[in-house]
């Protein structure tokens, strides 16, 4: 009887031109998503890259050919072992000049590297601040002046040494060697390269 009554009600609904509405199933409640706060929304965007600082166009970089007269075949007790290598280039507003050479004294060969670049101005500030004497069991660092220019001598227990001279505002002169017991010879070679003259070229 229950099934017959249900069939009769369905037929009555068709006769009336309508279909019975299906029973509504309860829908699970979904909590509304909160709108992201401004800080959260910003996390979805890629971070901004730092802006490059503009290069000071008033800073000029010396051409490497003008440095050749300073690199003589004979510099005190040191004798050149190979022709100089130099470059001057410009890329993305960064002018860079480098010169490299080697000199020998007895069994010791010293390598000389000179660099001039616009970004050296920023490096020079850190170099001046780092000129502090330091003594460790395996190495030492000693500030000094060569031809009136600020310099830094470094030596390690593996018998490697280096002398770096800041010539003027931005030209760096670096002299390094292996198998040495101190930096006296490197300091003499650096002085023979005339840092005072290099300082005038870097202005």
- Long-range contacts for 40-44 (Cβ within 8 Å, ≥24 apart)? none
Q: How far apart are CA 135 and CA 51, in angstroms?
A: 39
Whether the predicted model's global pTM rises above the 0.75 cut = no
Q: Are 166 and 172 in contact (CB under 8 A)?
A: yes
Q: What is the CATH number of domain 64-201?
A: 3.40.1000
pLDDT by residue for the chain (203 residues), tens only, comes to 444 444 433 343 444 444 444 555 555 554 444 555 544 443 343 334 333 344 555 678 999 999 999 999 999 999 999 899 999 998 767 889 999 999 999 999 999 999 999 889 899 999 998 899 999 999 999 999 999 999 999 999 999 999 999 999 999 999 999 999 999 999 999 999 999 999 998 66
Question: What residues does 164 pair with on adjacent strands?
Answer: 152, 174
Q: Where are the domains of the chain?
A: 64-201
């Amino acid at each position: 009887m229950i099934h017959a009554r249900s069939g009769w009600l369905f037929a009555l609904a068709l006769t009336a031109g309508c279909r019975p509405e299906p029973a509504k199933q309860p829908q699970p409640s979904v909590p509304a998503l909160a709108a992201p706060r401004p800080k959260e929304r910003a996390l979805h965007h890629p971070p901004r890259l730092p802006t490059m600082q503009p290069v000071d166009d008033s800073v000029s970089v010396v051409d490497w050919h003008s440095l050749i007269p300073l690199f003589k075949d004979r510099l005190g007790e040191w004798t050149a072992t190979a022709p100089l290598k130099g470059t001057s280039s410009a890329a993305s507003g960064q002018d860079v000049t480098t010169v490299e050479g080697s000199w020998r004294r007895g069994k010791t060969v010293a390598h000389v590297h000179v660099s001039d670049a616009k970004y050296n101005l920023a490096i020079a500030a850190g170099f001046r601040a780092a000129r502090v004497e330091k003594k460790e069991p395996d190495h030492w660092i000693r500030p000094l002046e060569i031809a009136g220019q600020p310099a830094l001598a470094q030596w390690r227990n593996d018998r490697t040494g280096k002398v770096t001279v800041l010539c003027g505002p931005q030209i760096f002169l670096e002299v390094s060697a292996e198998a040495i017991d101190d930096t006296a010879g490197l300091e003499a070679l650096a002085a023979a390269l005339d840092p005072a003259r290099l300082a005038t070229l870097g202005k």
